[in-house]
Amino acid sequence: MVDPKVVKAMMPYFSEVYGNASSTHEVGAKAKRALADVREVVAKSIDARREEIIFTSGGTESNNLVLKGLAFQQKVAKTGKNHIITTKIEHSCVLHSCEWLEGQGFDVTYLDVDGDGFVRASDLEKALRPETFLVSVIHGNNEIGTVQDLSALGDVCKKAGVLFHTDGCQSYTKVPLSMKKLSIGLMTLNSHKIHGPKGVGALYVKSGVKLVPVMHGGGHEGGLRGGTENIPGLVGFAEAVKLGLKGKHVKEMVKMRDYFIREVLSRIEGVKLNGPLDEGSGEKRLCNNMNFAFPVNAEMLGDYLNMAGVCTSKGSACSANEGDEVSHVLKALGRTDKEAGNSIRFTISRFTTQKELDESLKILIKSVEKVGKSRFA
């Protein structure tokens, strides 16, 4: 849900300050000031400079801009480099962009991960070539919650002189991110994962990194992203960032996540946790993510849960329209087709209560029993 405080912050920019930030009149000037304020908030949240923040429509656009923009920059600059390294557990927009780039003559290496979804720094080091120009690794995985060690991976890239990009959409405001401390050249962020509006995102581009724009227009966003900025959405994004960095909600979510995982593993026979067990911490697993492989048909289980008011996901919501029955992320962990097909993801937020969690747990246990007894399971 969008935080009510975010909605309140956005409202004036749908009416009283409904100006184009590129216009020279006073209403436009107010919108421009608001845009500058948002850029400052996002930049400060990751220890970056505001001129290093490019606003986009969300994570998918930002990831496309990184991969395609940097790839074609190699051709423009005639660097002779054509190799990208990514992983087998990336978001579909990264994987599909890489597949498209392969058709354009670029070479892509897809790294394996271990049983919990972690990329080995040694594997990355071995995969590097003289012609490698980009390494792209998701920070917090959207399906299994695995949080990569950006420090170790970034150091490998820095040593090799290769740009490092990470998709931080899921981890943003949940895990500390400092561009001053990490060897990151580009990072993808978005709004709706932190209770902000959909259709708004950002890309951190370290000073000196050059990209070919994939959307041409009137020179907006430093010439990298043509199109009138969505001021109401961006104001909401900034408010969501400020709220996301406040309070102790991350620690509270870690407690609830751990509680739910312990209860499920102890009370449902044959269930497996997908991703790392990171009790008491949000450093290796996202504080809001629980993903299990159940011993029963997940399609039926999901239907039972949905009818009872418990919303869950199989795989990634962004891949639901592709008709894939088996998650590429879970397959990369070594799960069988049956285990991957019978996996379900539960997600909590800072608005989730212990009462809601307990009720969901009761419904889950009853639903597993019902599916297990069904002759169609």
Digit-coded pLDDT (tens) for 334-373 = 999 999 999 999 999 999 999 999 999 999 999 999 999 8
* Mean per-residue pLDDT, 126-131: 98
- Taking only the tens place, the pLDDT of each residue in 177-235 is 999 999 999 999 999 999 999 999 999 999 999 999 998 998 899 999 999 999 999 99
| Residue 316 predicted with pLDDT over 90 | no
Out of 157, 169, 311, 318, the active site residue is: 318
User: What's the distance, CA 181 to chain centroid?
Assistant: 20
Look at 68-82, 229-243, 259-273, 361-375 and tell me which has the smallest mean pLDDT.
361-375
Amino acid identity of residue 118, one-letter, is F
State pLDDT tens for residues 65-75: 999 999 999 99
Fold assignment, 4-244: Aspartate Aminotransferase; domain 2 (3.40.640)
Catalytic-residue membership of 169: no
User: How many angstroms separate the CA atoms of 336 and 216, rounded?
Assistant: 44
Within the chain, all domains assigned CATH 3.90.1150.10 are found at 249-373
CATH code 3.40.640.10 region(s) in the chain: 4-244
Q: What is the pLDDT of residue 173?
A: 98
Mean pLDDT score of the chain: 95
**Domain 249-373: CATH class, spelled out:** alpha beta
pLDDT at 150 over 90: yes
User: pTM of the predicted model, to two decimals?
Assistant: 0.95
87: nearest Cα among 41, 121, 133, 138: 138
* Averaged pLDDT, 266-283: 96
Q: 343-347 and 289-293 as β-strands: parallel, antiparallel, unpaired?
A: antiparallel
**Residue 190 bridge partners (DSSP):** 201
Range in 11-15, 25-29, 107-111, 221-225 the model is least confident about: 25-29
Measure Cα distances from 38 to 15, 332, 369 in Å. 18, 38, 49
pLDDT grade for 33, boundaries at 50, 70 and 90? very high
